[in-house]
Amino acid sequence: MVEKYLDTVKEHEQNSQNKPLIMSATSKSVSSKTPVSIGIIGSGHRGGTFINELVKMPELARISAICDVSTERMKILTTRFGLKDTKQFTSLDEMLAGNLVEAVIVTVPDNLHRWAAVKIFEAGKDVMLEKPLAPTAEDCRAILQAHRRSGRLMQVGFVLRSTSFYRRVKAIVDSGVLGQIMFIHACEYLGVQHGASYMTRWHRKRENAGTFLLAKCSHDLDILNWLTGSKPQAVASFGGNDFFLPERGGAAHCSECERTETCPYQVDLNWHFITGETRPPGSDLCAFNDDKDVIDNQVVILEYANRIRATFELQLFHPVGGRRITIGGQYGYLEGDFEAGKITIHYNTDGRIEEITLKAANDSGHGGGDFEFTRSFVRAIRTRETNSAGAEAGLAANVIAEAVERSRLKKCVVPISLLEYEVGSIQGKIQHRKKSKTIRK
């Protein structure tokens, strides 16, 4: 019965709220009576999301500054959320000068994460970095090295860990009711409008965001790592762009297309934040354009160091978007539907079936995870402790995604050395170990 592991679940969730994973011994705790002063760089879709969550907690945080290249977008956001006292900057250096902000939330395009994060750490501020950590493992390591040098706090935007759904799944796995875990199957299906949006914005180019699996599903990879308590030592993958092909399009831009009124893939500005200032001619690009180099479907197989096998599936043209997960163990298996908040456990010992229905802790995005994650960052600035995913988790997701892409392109199994998950230069570590072996000989 569910009661068998409710005590374990409660204990796990209590630990997840209190147990620190990252500590910054060099920084003093902020007074609990003083709202934390937050700066945000990047006033696009996710920047607006975090502003929306921060204004719900005025006793904990105040948005002191916003930085973006678009003055129009900053004006729209400050007006929308009533941020009359929030200063606006087009220069990150100017925003970081002095003591205006104690911490910065970074939501600029992924290929600018390294530039922004390193600057912020060098300025002595705490950082919350939207996922993925960076487009390349090299950039991730540079960010992590700057983080360690600074002694400041860092939190990576893996918001799924902050949801009641995945916390409960984690607690069930850790309780042992499923026995030894043998396999996990997870998937993310994007609804047609959501999937099509990625084919028209900056994510469609790998030079901007790395592989699409990394850009969209790095927190799904993180969930697999979190649930298994391990890291993959080998991966294999197949995938490609097989649906959003140019021959299926009607015209180069939606405004020129005769199918606009009936096409379900036309540009939906709910997935964009385009203003007159930032909307160049032709920004209503057709999702079936030929100016992209990312996949629209992919399957991944992962073998973890603790011998758990996992699969992950991604699709960008599903009628109804959502995340699903199945976890198989020696005593039974778990099925979960993230959007529905439903978990079902099937026991193979006596045929029993247990059903759990969860409600999101709040009405924010990602099943309530956006608010919980944002609040955890603000609280971490005060306490100098955080239970959210740290920088190393961000690097791990990137290492996996890069190995997966090598497998997809070469159509072979790709091994992953444990050295690749470490912060230092992988080439340097390998050379050092070879030299050590030579000396010992």
Q: What is the pLDDT of residues 171-203, one digit of tens each?
A: 999 999 999 999 999 999 999 989 999 999 888
What the block records as the tokens of 19 is 């147990």
**CB-CB contact of 63 with 40 (8 Å):** yes
Q: Are residues 149 and 204 in the same domain?
A: no
Cα separation, 12 vs 282, in Å, equals 51
What does DSSP assign to residue 211? -
Q: Is residue 399 part of a domain?
A: no
Q: Are residues 16 and 126 in the same domain?
A: yes
Cα separation, 327 vs 183, in Å, equals 6
What the block records as the tokens of 212 is 């699409």
One digit per residue, pLDDT tens: the chain, 441 residues?
A: 344 444 544 554 455 444 433 334 344 445 567 899 999 999 988 999 999 999 999 999 999 999 999 999 999 999 999 999 999 999 999 999 999 999 999 999 999 999 999 999 999 999 999 999 999 999 999 999 999 999 999 999 999 999 999 999 999 999 999 999 999 999 999 999 899 999 998 889 998 889 999 999 999 999 999 999 999 999 999 999 999 999 999 898 888 899 988 999 987 766 666 555 556 556 788 999 999 999 999 999 999 999 999 999 999 999 999 999 999 999 999 999 999 999 999 999 899 999 999 988 788 888 888 999 999 999 999 988 876 677 899 999 999 999 999 999 999 999 999 999 998 765 545 444 544 444 455
pLDDT at 54: 97
Q: Are residues 235 and 255 in the same domain?
A: yes
DSSP assignment of 49-112, as one string?
A: HHHHHHTT-TTTEEEEEEE-S-HHHHHHHHHHTT-TT-EEES-HHHHHSTTS-SEEEE-S-GGG
Q: Are residues 223 and 357 in the same domain?
A: yes
pLDDT at 19: 41
Q: Please classify residue 191 by burial: count the beta carbons closer than 10 Å to its beta carbon, then call 0-12 exposed, 13-18 middle and 19+ buried.
A: middle
pLDDT at 379: 94
Structure confidence by residue, pLDDT tens digits, 18-66? 443 333 434 444 556 789 999 999 998 899 999 999 999 999 999 999 9
- Sequence-distant (≥ 6) Cβ neighbours of residue 6 within 8 angstroms: none
Nearest to 136 by CA among 163, 117, 110, 159: 110
Q: Is residue 27 part of a domain?
A: yes
Q: Is residue 219 part of a domain?
A: yes
Start-to-end C-alpha separation, the chain: 58
Q: How many domains does the chain have?
A: 2
pLDDT at 7: 53
pLDDT at 429: 53
**CB-CB contact of 331 with 179 (8 Å):** yes
Q: Is residue 407 part of a domain?
A: no
For residue 75, what is the domain's CATH number?
3.40.50.720
Q: Are residues 36 and 111 in the same domain?
A: yes
Q: Are residues 135 and 189 in the same domain?
A: no
Tell me the pairing of strands 309-318 and 181-191.
Answer: parallel
pLDDT at 364: 86
Q: Are residues 345 and 374 in the same domain?
A: no
Q: Are residues 235 and 154 in the same domain?
A: no
Q: Are residues 307 and 384 in the same domain?
A: no
* C-alpha torsion 317→320→323→324, nearest 10: -110
Q: Are residues 84 and 208 in the same domain?
A: no
Q: Is residue 138 part of a domain?
A: yes
Query: Exposure string (b/e) for 111-139, b if CB count within 10 Å is 16 or more?
Result: bbbbbbbbbbbebebbbbbbbbbbbbbeb
Q: Is residue 428 part of a domain?
A: no
Structure confidence by residue, pLDDT tens digits, 297-320? 999 999 999 999 999 999 999 999
* Containing structural domain, residue 70: 3-160+370-389
Q: Are residues 49 and 96 in the same domain?
A: yes
**CB-CB contact of 377 with 386 (8 Å):** yes
For residue 198, what is the domain's CATH number?
3.30.360.10
pLDDT at 202: 86
Q: Is residue 410 part of a domain?
A: no
Q: Are residues 151 and 25 in the same domain?
A: yes
pLDDT at 385: 81
pLDDT at 428: 47
Q: Is residue 400 part of a domain?
A: no
